[in-house]
Amino acid sequence: MVGKKVIITGVPGVGKTTVVNEALKKLKNEGIEYQSINFGSFMFDVAMADGTVKDRDQMRSLDKTVQKRLQQNAAQAIAKITGNVLVDTHASVKTPKGYLAGLPEWVLHEIMPDLIVLVETDNDQVLMRRLSDETRSRDKEGSKAIAEHQQFNRAIAASYAMLTGCTIKMITNADFLLDRAADDMAAVLR
Ligand code: AMP
Ligand code: MG
């Protein structure tokens, strides 16, 4: 059987990884398996090995050419993985010089997703989640900037649908409603 390729996106701190893990638990009980992959980790392994960065949150401030090279390496490695694959990544990356497409044409053509999911929630909730996450160096920005980023992600997702013919699904990961988000996620992964 040919595997499904699903890309999960959402602004930093929205809770992509949490929703994915919950959804995968539900699916496992039904005998549906996905290999879960983190795009940023593929980039980080290379960047750390050559001494470019020490922390994964430093990558988005690297020169654009360097970020794109790491991005292309990651896409090529991920394209080789067979079966049902779920890729945790970003529709766009906020760099000091503006938004960088997370899935430019050459990345999409490597991975060729069936579906792109946008995990979203209220801007204030994203802000609070970032403030309470001590494990990461999340960008310190206000809810207006977070709103802009979430809007930009919807806009750029439309172009990804045009380039690949994939479907785009928005899933809300609201406070206290993780189980609902996980159910919505599981439903599109079945
Ligand atoms: P994450 O752990 O998902 O927050 O990803 C860590 C970092 O990896 C991000 O801040 C970006 O610098 C980088 N990254 C992840 N996915 C992509 C992508 N598709 N394109 C470019 N950079 C990415
Ligand atoms: Mg994550």
Query: Can you give the pLDDT at residue 186?
Result: 98
Over 60: is that where the pLDDT of 1 sits?
no
Domains of the chain with bracketed CATH: 5-37+83-189 (3.40.50.300)
CA separation for the pair 54, 62 (Å, rounded): 12
pLDDT in tens, 65-115: 999 999 999 999 999 999 999 999 999 999 999 999 999 999 999 999 999
CA separation for the pair 108, 89 (Å, rounded): 12
CA separation for the pair 51, 45 (Å, rounded): 10
Residues lining ligand 1, Cβ inside 6 A: 12, 39-40, 43, 56-57, 59-60, 67, 71, 88-90, 93, 102-103
Centre of ligand 1 from the C-alpha of residue 71, in Å: 8
Q: Determine the residue of 66, 93, 137 to mutate for testing ligand 1's pocket, defined as the one with the most ligand atoms within 8 A of the Cβ atom.
A: 93
Instruction: Kindly report the protein residue whose alpha carbon is nearest to atom 20 of ligand 1.
Output: 102
